Amino acid sequence: MNTMTTPLYHPFQQSLISPTRAATSPLIEEVPGVLGQIYARRGIKESLELDRSLGRLPDPFKLKGMAMMCSILETAIRDRQRVLVIGDYDADGATATALALEGLRLLGLEAIDYLVPNRFQYGYGLTPEIVELARSYQPDILLTVDNGISSHEGIDAAKEAGLKVLITDHHLPGETLPKADAIVNPNLPDDPFPSKALAGVGVMFYVLLGLRQQLRKNQFFEQGVTQEPHLGILLDLVALGTVADVVPLDSVNRILVHQGLERIRKGLARPGIRALLQGSKRKEPRIRASDLGFQIGPRLNAAGRLDDMSVGIECLLARDFEEALRLAQTLEQLNQERKDIEEGMRQDALRHLDPLMALESQRPIVCLFDPAWHQGVVGILASRIKDRLHRPVIVFALNDLDPNQLKGSARSVSGIHIRDILAEVATRHPGLIGRFGGHAMAAGLSLQKDHLLRFTEAMEEEIRKRIPGLTLEPQLETDGSLAPQDLSMALAERLESGGPWGQGFSEPLFEGTFRIASCRVVGENHLKLVLRPDDSEHLIDAIAFRVETPEAWQEGAKIKAAYRLEVNEFRSVRTPQLLIEYMTTALN
């Protein structure tokens, strides 16, 4: 186990431990060398698990509730009923909404529209207020995407109004299920579907697959009303929503993301995604999963954080590229505004954190609140602070509709299931928490402002009780070191094509000792380097982004670095490059 001191990007951490990931299965004979070892460390036991073809997707009807869902939707298509999609205001919700509209239209549904609650007026999910608003659309059916599993009151209100309610969701259910007409959610109790990690957009895609299968069985397409569609054209939406929602890339999600990325790389993406890629200066043939997560997702999310997610949904639904480009530019402006707000909040948060962490560096969770903070940006701020402190973080802002209530967004770390912790605290302290929901790594909640201190103490107590031996020392797991001859274009290309990499199937990260052959500052604070592996004459280009003191690194210095090996393309010339994640000085 190695210790890396003075990490580049985490000023609150005194040390960074970087153990090598242990292999959990035998090496795969069909994939020799470095890549085979990487797969083994991620639990891949046989080469079949690396097959990313659509034929390996599980049967949709393994999902509990799929038969009833498809039966109701088939009747809606045949009887020309009106369906209103109730979406969510994040990237998963936006892509799932666009997917539902596009897919159901392809399958023959004529009357379909959508409604996404404005987070500042209505909050999250299918509430009674949203049901009242939805009634103005005169629907027969409400179809939720990426929400609904905790909307008991709203669903009761819809049923009283004579509406059918269909829920597609992936969030963890509570102790009781809402009284909907059909629910499809892989996380329902005793649901046999092999993947519990589908995003909301993935669940909706599976509903479309199931519905097409049922319509085919009932000879609907032979009646000449509509042609049987190729639903693969929707996979660019599925890939974007899945990666942006940071769900684990298990074997099912890897297939969905890979297939979506392949469509984008071939120039087959919808105009909205192409416009968002252009705005982020990403080239379609070179698109990677990380580009969806770090470039496209935030631009789409900005609409829901600051304004109205319908801007993002309309961008995804746009048929014309010029119209999509106009909407993408609006999203770009909102994203820049979001960045400015976030930076101000981040500086405020750091002022809170300095005395907080000095007083008690081992407190297991950090809860932060400032009355000036923006309700739409607390989630991304929580994620930033969590990365710095390597512990769960909940950031609160005032509820715009009730100044005595807080809206919180939680982000957690591996080993602490934040939604389960919230559920246990809610059970032990009735009335302490308002509404809450989410999953292992992220959750949202409401709280009375005068409950914040008691809530924080209850959360700390619950985490310590559940995980008595919890260590909050930040650990950076690597895939070990590479030999100088492996710092090559060949391996960089194999790693690039070996994904998709992401949550739960992490992109390969290596460590090594190098001598700085040359370095210079590019942009405002990026460091461009040429490195020489220790005890070698081999040279390799490297770059470190957003270095706080780039001038501190000098030619001739010996460093220890954690890095990713990637392909760099500049003016159509492709070369291997190290992307430095952490860097420290090393003893000579």
pLDDT tens per residue across span 248-271: 999 999 999 999 999 999 999 999
The amino acid at 410 = A
d(CA 103, CA 211): 10
Question: Lowest mean pLDDT: which of 54-68, 182-196, 509-523?
Answer: 509-523
For 29, counting Cβ atoms within 10 Å of its Cβ (0-12 exposed, 13-18 middle, 19+ buried), the class is exposed
Phi, psi of 543 (to 5 degrees): -145, 140
Give residue-wise pLDDT tens across range 284-336: 888 999 999 888 988 888 777 777 788 999 999 999 999 999 999 999 888 88
Enumerate the domain spans of the chain: 3-19+477-585, 54-332, 360-466
Q: What is the pTM (predicted TM-score) of this model?
A: 0.86
- Number of other residues whose CB lies within 10 A of the CB of residue 490: 10
Higher pLDDT, 90 or 58: 58
pLDDT for 475: 67
User: Class assignment of domain 360-466?
Assistant: alpha beta
**3-19+477-585 and 360-466, same CATH topology:** no
* Strand order across the beta sheet in which 366-369 lies: 366-369, 393-399, 402-411, 442-448, 433-438
CATH number at 54-332: 3.90.1640.30
CATH of domain 3-19+477-585: 2.40.50.460
Residue type, 300: L
Instruction: Dump pLDDT digits (tens) for 93-132.
Output: 999 999 999 999 999 999 999 998 876 666 677 999 999 9
